[in-house]
Amino acid sequence: MPIERHGEADTNEEEAESKFKVAVREALERALLQSELRDATHGVRLISVGNSSELISGGKYVLADFHVQLSSDPGSNRLPVVLLDALRATNFSLGGTEIIAARDLLHELQVEGWYSWSIMES
């Protein structure tokens, strides 16, 4: 999912990146818990977030790659619709936080396959 990336004033870039990743994971989880998938959502695992050296689209956005643990398969066509509906409801804020989805780049949103959490653990 493409998200806005604002430069931190923090002089410790590694610490700033770590805080940003935590904020992104929490925001993604909140967004899902505020969607119609709230009852099926059991967690979010952040796989990667582009850092400030990996900015895209004019240097304003990064891509976040994440896994979602759900108790049932909503279908690969349904999950993006639910995520987009949740984003529209919060003016593209992830879960009402300060983390903002890049509305112009949401065509980058991709959903791949259905796997159980135990398979994802390996």
Quote the domain boundaries for residue 54: 2-121
- Read off the pLDDT of residues 7-61 as tens digits, 9 standing for 90 and up: 555 557 788 888 888 998 999 999 888 888 889 888 888 888 876 556 565 667 7
> Which residue type, as a one-letter code, is found at position 76?
S
pTM: 0.77
The listed range with the strongest mean pLDDT (48-52, 74-78, 82-86) is 82-86
Q: How far is CA 31 from the centre of its chain?
A: 8
Check residue 121 and give its pLDDT.
45
Check residue 26 and give its pLDDT.
92
Total tally of structural domains belonging to the chain: 1
Distance CA 103, CA 111 (A): 17
Task: Indicate the average pLDDT of the chain.
Answer: 78
CATH assignment of the domain containing 30: 3.30.70
